[in-house]
Amino acid sequence: MKKDLIDIFDLSNQEIDELISVATDIVENPANYAEKCKGKKLAVLFYEPSTRTRLSFESAMYELGGNVLGFSEAGSSSVSKGESVSDTAKTLECFSDIIAMRHPKEGAPLVAAGSVGIPVINGGDGGHNHPTQTLTDLFTIKREKGRLDNMTIACCGDLKFGRTVHSLISAMSRYENVKFVLISPEELRIPEHIRNEVLIKNNIPFEEVTSLDEALPKLDVLYMTRVQKERFFNEEDYIRLKDSYILTPDKLLNAKEDLSILHPLPRVNEISVQVDKDKRATYFRQVKNGKFIRMALILRLLGL
Ligand code: NCD
């Protein structure tokens, strides 16, 4: 296993399977893991807002018996005085055993990883990657459907700026017979590098469409996403595009009985709250799964 997790491609399918089986064992036998990280510290360096990712990292470390330090806002650290990512990471290396970092700039966690000897986990870098969300998504799909192959999965919403989608497509494209339906407005289509380097290059079947309603009946997994307001250059475009897709109970009448609806959250408007009661709504179970898979990841990266 590599020292760091920066990109989902840092993990082989076999390593992902191992993480999923450790996470499953943690769910079933939590007491066996309660002291595994005793005396270890996780540093969380979050330069961008976060609820689930940061707090699930923190609760993962606490449930392993370890401790947590760090910041949830760059303004409260020496970053506001102009300190580089590399110097901040080197400082935290003096106080901790492993770092989880989120940053608005693509590549910042990679820079941190190259500056320190301890493992660095990318908790989301700009519009680029979000590998631990993808581990959460894979673990969730595996638990809900019992498999990661042989399925049609749609990603819907902001496929241009949504980093979770980029990492999820990269990961799911490595399983057998997975077909993608990419649903977005014209302006928010999947970036060229994912289309060319991941999908076309590996002969993965995919279609790019604009209608969610037409795609719904054939889907096994629907991965909804929020339009990424903070990555837009002008607010008018955001306002025009933000409500492009809204999943409601009536739309789901045409969907499969065993569809799984995922969302990395936060949700804005794209899934109506009435859908939450539907057994196919998986997104809050997905949040919970995120803690267990992060526990498995911390253990592996610390060599425990
Ligand atoms: C996502 C993110 O930060 O990229 N959230 C998360 O980590 N669960 C998705 C988003 O912000 O829309």
Angle between helices 283-301 and 13-28 (to 10 degrees): 110
Q: Which atom of ligand 1 is nearest to the CA of 225?
A: 12
Per-residue pLDDT of the chain (304 residues; tens, 9 = 90+): 899 999 999 999 999 999 999 999 999 999 999 999 999 999 999 999 999 999 999 999 999 999 999 999 988 888 888 899 999 999 999 999 999 999 999 999 999 999 999 999 999 999 999 999 999 999 999 999 999 999 999 999 999 999 999 999 999 999 999 999 999 999 999 999 999 999 999 999 999 999 999 999 999 999 999 999 999 989 999 999 999 999 999 999 999 999 999 999 999 999 999 999 999 999 999 999 999 999 999 999 999 9
Does the Cβ of 291 fall within 6 Å of ligand 1?
no
Which residue from 203, 256, 191, 198 is spatially nearest to 228, judged by alpha carbons?
191
Closest residue by CA, ligand 1 atom 8? 264
Q: Residue 287 Cα, ligand 1 centroid: separation in angstroms?
A: 11
Angle between helices 283-301 and 52-63 (to 10 degrees): 50
d(CA 219, CA 181): 8
d(CA 236, CA 233): 9
Which residue from 65, 21, 17, 26 is spatially nearest to 42, judged by alpha carbons?
65
Does the Cβ of 53 fall within 6 Å of ligand 1?
yes
d(CA 62, CA 85): 25
d(CA 80, CA 87): 13
Q: Residue 129 Cα, ligand 1 centroid: separation in angstroms?
A: 10
- Produce one character per residue of 148-185: b if its CB has 16 or more CB atoms within 10 Å, e if not: beebbbbbbbbbbbbbbbbbbbbbbbbbeebbbbbbbb
Question: What residues have CB less than 8 Å from 72, skipping those under 6 apart?
Answer: 44, 46, 50, 54
169-220 pLDDT tens trace:
999 999 999 999 999 999 999 999 999 999 999 999 999 999 999 999 999 9
Share of the chain above pLDDT 90, in %: 96
pLDDT of residue 76: 82
Q: Which atom of ligand 1 is nearest to the CA of 226?
A: 12
